[in-house]
Structure 1
Amino acid sequence: MNDGRASFLTIGETQIAYRSRKGRAPGVVWLGGYKSDMLGTKAGALDAWAAEKGHAFLRHDYSGHGESNGAFMDGTISLWLEQSLCVLRALTKGPQILVGSSMGAWIALRMAQELHWAGEGDRLAGLLLLAPAPDFTSELVEPKLSDANRRELEEKGYMEEPSEYSDEPYIYTRALFEDGKRNLVLNGILDTHCPVHILQGKADPDVPFTHAMRLTEHLPADDVTLSLIGDGDHRLSRPQDIALILRSLEGLVDRVV
Structure 2
Amino acid sequence: MTATPPVFLDVGGTEIAVRHAAGSAPGIVWLGGYKSDMLGTKAETLSAWAATEGRAFLRHDYSGHGESGGAFADGTISTWLAQSLAAFRRFSKGKQILVGSSMGAWIALRMVQELRKAGDDSIAGLVLLAPAPDFTAELVEPALTEAQKRDLSEKGFFEEPSDYSAEPYIYTRALIEDGRNNLTMTGPINTHCPVHILQGLADADVPASHALKLVSLLPADDVTLSLIPDGDHRLSRPQDLDMLLRTVGAMVERAG
- 1:143-222 to 2 correspondences below 5 Å: 143-222=142-221
Q: Could you tell me which runs of 5 or more consecutive residues in structure 2 were left unpaired when the two chains were aligned.
A: none
Count, aligned residues = 255
- 1:45-64 to 2 correspondences below 5 Å: 45-64=45-64
Residue of structure 2 equivalent to 1:240: 239
Residue of structure 2 equivalent to 1:34: 34
Alpha-carbon distance in structure 1 between the residues aligned to 2:95 and 2:87? 14
After the TM superposition, which of the residue ranges 18-27 and 3-12 deviates more from structure 2?
Answer: 3-12
For residues 205-253 of structure 1, give each alpha carbon's deviation from its aligned partner in whole angstroms, at most 9, with x where no partner exists: 0000010010001100001000000000000000000000000001101
SS of 1:151's equivalent?
Answer: helix
Residue of structure 2 equivalent to 1:135: 134
Counterpart amino acid of residue 110 in structure 1 = R
SS of 1:237's equivalent?
Answer: coil
Residue of structure 2 equivalent to 1:120: 120
* 1:256 Cα deviation after fit: 1.0
Counterpart amino acid of residue 178 in structure 1 = E
Identity among equivalent pairs (%): 67
Residue of structure 2 equivalent to 1:98: 98
For residues 138-195 of structure 1, give each alpha carbon's deviation from its aligned partner in whole angstroms, at most 9, with x where no partner exists: 1111111110000000000011010001001000000000000000011011110001
Provide runs of 4+ in structure 1 moved above 6 Å.
none
Q: TM-score normalised to the size of structure 2?
A: 0.98
SS of 1:187's equivalent?
Answer: coil
Q: TM-score normalised to the size of structure 1?
A: 0.98
Alpha-carbon distance in structure 2 between the residues aligned to 1:168 and 1:5? 25
* 1:3 Cα deviation after fit: 6.4
* 1:5 Cα deviation after fit: 1.2
For residues 84-131 of structure 1, give each alpha carbon's deviation from its aligned partner in whole angstroms, at most 9, with x where no partner exists: 00100001111110000000000000001111111102x101000000
Alpha-carbon distance in structure 2 between the residues aligned to 1:255 and 1:120? 19
Alpha-carbon distance in structure 1 between the residues aligned to 2:119 and 2:3? 34
Change (3 A) 1:3 1:237: closer
Residue of structure 2 equivalent to 1:223: 222
Residue of structure 2 equivalent to 1:11: 11
SS of 2:243's equivalent?
Answer: helix
Counterpart amino acid of residue 28 in structure 1 = I
Alpha-carbon distance in structure 2 between the residues aligned to 1:3 and 1:100? 21
SS of 2:63's equivalent?
Answer: coil
Alpha-carbon distance in structure 2 between the residues aligned to 1:82 and 1:249? 25
Matched, 1:25 2:25: yes
SS of 1:15's equivalent?
Answer: strand
Counterpart amino acid of residue 175 in structure 1 = A
